[in-house]
């Protein structure tokens, strides 16, 4: 290593936040409060569909569900097990899947769908879609419209 002094004061026994026991933390909210917050968040996501806004930020979402942004971030990371954008993209992908399999919308292009569900680019949409479904949007549509 070229710069061993960089690591001189690093504690080798530090744990990742995800490995900490929530009961050890004096700042953790009781489990029932987390469950209530998660339910409120998920209900809001389904009813209001804020994920359709491509510029949605954690601050904006936190304000909407009346939680501090840091608390919302921790809730999503530790209790739901996702990062903010993965959490948002999961809702976007579910919405896209419904559109892709809606026979009345089979003339709507994938490009139109990706903008409609809140993505800004085809590559980020394709990447997220494949991550969540294991296939591309076009193949997903072909497989599922034939079955319907």
Sketch the domain layout of the chain as residue ranges. 90-147
pLDDT score of 23 more than 50:
no
pLDDT score of 16 more than 80:
no
Determine which of 33-37, 68-72, 80-84, 121-125 has the lowest per-residue pLDDT on average. 33-37
pLDDT score of 82 more than 60:
yes
Mean pLDDT of 101-107: 93
Residue that the structure tokens 């009961």 belong to: 23
Between CA 95 and CA 100 the distance in angstroms is 9
Q: For domain 90-147, give its CATH number from 3.20.20.140, 2.60.40.2480, 3.20.20.80, 1.10.10.60.
A: 1.10.10.60
Label residue 6 by pLDDT band (50, 70, 90): very low
Secondary structure in 3-state letters for the chain: CCCHHHHCCCCCCCCCHHHCCHHHCCCCCCHHHHHHHHHHHHHHHHHHCHHHCCCCCHHHHHHHCCCCHHHHHHHHHHHHCCCHHHHHHHHHHHHHHHHHCCHHHCCCCHHHHHHHCCCCCHHHHHHHHHHHHCCCHHHHHHHHHHHC
Label residue 77 by pLDDT band (50, 70, 90): very high
Q: Please say whether the beta carbons of 61 and 72 come within 8 A.
A: yes
């Amino acid at each position: 290593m070229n710069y061993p002094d960089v690591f001189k004061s690093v504690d080798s026994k530090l744990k990742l936040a995800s490995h900490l026991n929530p009961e050890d933390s004096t700042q953790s909210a009781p489990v029932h409060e987390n469950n209530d917050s998660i339910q409120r968040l998920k209900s809001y996501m389904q009813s209001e569909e804020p994920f359709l806004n491509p510029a949605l930020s954690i601050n904006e979402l936190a304000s909407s569900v009346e939680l501090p942004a840091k608390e919302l971030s921790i809730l999503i990371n530790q209790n739901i097990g996702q990062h903010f954008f993965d959490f948002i993209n999961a809702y976007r992908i579910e919405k896209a899947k419904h559109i892709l399999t809606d026979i009345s919308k089979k003339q709507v292009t994938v490009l139109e769908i990706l903008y409609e569900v809140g993505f800004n680019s085809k590559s980020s949409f394709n990447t997220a879609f494949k991550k969540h479904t294991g296939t591309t949007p076009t193949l997903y549509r072909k497989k599922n419209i034939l079955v319907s």
